[in-house]
Structures are given as C-alpha cells and as structure tokens.
Amino acid sequence: MSNREVVILSVGGVRFVTRASTLQQFPESRLARMLNDHDQEFKLVNGEFFVDRDGTLFTYIMDFLRTLQVSLPTDFSDYERLQREAEFYGLYPLADLLSQEHLLKPRLEILEVRFSLQEMQAFFRIFGSCSTTVETLSEQITVFAGQQSGQSWNSPFPSQKPLVPLPLERPSHHDMVFQCGTDYSAGDQFVARYVSIKPDNRKLINGTNVLGLLLDTLLKDGFRLISTRTVSSEEKVECYSFERTRRPPGLTISVSQTPGSSGAAQAKRSQAQKGK
C-alpha cells in the first residue's frame, strides 16, 4: 500500500483524498504505518481506509500534514480534543504544540490614536499594545517638510520646492508621534508638514483629513473602533480607541531524519518573537 500514490480516508463519515507522501510526513505516526501495517482502527473497505474518529477535527490534522504548520481559526476552542486526536494518530509534535495552547490562541490587540488641533497644526500620537503593528504602521506613515515664503504660500501658484521626508518620533517601541500643518518660522518663512499614509499616495497637510485617512486605514486593517472620547477639552485632545483579534503567527514544524533513527520524525517548533 505504501506505493499507492492517492489514498482515500473516511474519518467519521467525512471523506479525505490525499497523497501517500503526505501521510508519511511523520514515518513513526499511525497514519504512515497504516499504509503498510494492519491496524484494527483503520479498516480498508472498498479501497478506502475507514476510521471511527472525529472527521471535523481531522481536517486540521490534514492541514498540518500538508503545510507542517499549526494555523487554527480565531474562534477555535477544542484544543484538548484536537490534542487527543493528534496523540491517537501518533503525531506527537503536533500534540506537544497543542498542549501549549497559549501559543496558538488569538490575542486581543489594542491601539489608541490621540489627536489635537492647535491653530494651524495638528498633532498625532499612536500607541499600540503590539509593537509589530506600530512598527508596520510607522513604515506606512511618512512626514514631509518644506519651507515657503509668506508670499509664495498665499500665491495661487506657490513655488514648487522639494519636500524632505522627516523621521517619525518613536518614544518607545509601542508608540509614535508626528504632526502636520504649517508653522511660522524666522522672517516671512513658513514650515509646512505633509503626511502620507500608504497605500494612499496623497500628501495631506490638513489635520482633519490626515485623521480621516488614518482611521480609514486602521479600519481596513481589521481594527474596530470601540470608543471616542475627549481627553482634554481645553487642549482639544481627542482619543480614538481600537481593538482587533490578532491571529498568532503560524507555528511551523520542521521534519528531519537522522541516521539510526529508523525513520523517526524529529520536530522543532519555531515562533516569530516580534510583538512581545
């Protein structure tokens, strides 16, 4: 049976079609041995292997064998049952990961935007519970600065001077600060700061427009606005709070065979460490 390229399994009445090589990812597992050995739990009926186990949970078993990754839905909760299924099939590296369900559970992510208007300038401060998200957002946001004279500023055809990108202020890994608008400097010069937020290519100088684009960007990225409040009425500081359920990075099992291991599968788990 091991030379058979296509294998059909009926697990709890749910039919699965896969390659023999997929079932042999972990040679010591019962699914791999099933192709050669007689196992009372796996009955061959009309060319199909039948096993009286949970067919729905076996979907995740097959996904693991095909990708060597553990990636579960955000609403998944049957960690103990899936762990038992993994142990039944002899997939102990998977069972080991499932026993550490804190690595696999989705995490609630909080992000806060503070916005204030002061005359011709707008100030922004973004704080996020996940440093990876803040870092990604800082790569999307660019502030450009340029100087113009008062006369050219009021002209309907202001002189086109090159804008210089400015680095964002990063007080910590979890927050960033930037501003836009115009500020009077020495003489009759004005410093103008524009903000661009990818993938939008516009350079916006009006703080209200920048705020609208920022909020729209966060909503498109899966965040949900949960509250809006005024932090300081005197300083006109508004706070927008967002949250989203973030799926953890996929945990990958790497399989290798070593001499003298009789085809034993060795597993090593890896997890992205960003955002901690």
Q: Quick one: what percent of the chain has pLDDT higher than 70?
A: 79
> How many domains does the chain divide into?
2
Asked whether residue 84 falls in the same domain as residue 15, the answer is yes
pLDDT tens by residue, 26-76: 998 999 988 887 677 888 888 899 999 999 999 999 999 999 888 888 778
Q: What is the pTM assigned to this prediction?
A: 0.60
Asked whether residue 61 falls in the same domain as residue 89, the answer is yes
> Are 226 and 111 contacting, i.e. CB atoms less than 8 angstroms apart?
no
Range of the domain at 150: 109-244
User: What is the chain's mean pLDDT, rounded?
Assistant: 82
> Are 145 and 121 contacting, i.e. CB atoms less than 8 angstroms apart?
no
Confidence of residue 269 (pLDDT cuts 50, 70, 90): very low
Decide which of 105, 133, 163 is a domain's last residue: 105
CATH number at residue 46: 3.30.710.10
Query: Can you give the pLDDT at residue 59?
Result: 95
Say if residue 251 is exposed, middle or buried (CB neighbours under 10 Å; 0-12, 13-18, 19+).
buried
| Among the ranges given (41-45, 98-102, 142-146, 272-276), the one the predictor scored with the smallest mean pLDDT | 272-276
pLDDT tens by residue, 195-206: 999 999 899 999
Determine the Cα–Cα distance for residues 272 and 230; give it in Å rounded to an integer.
37
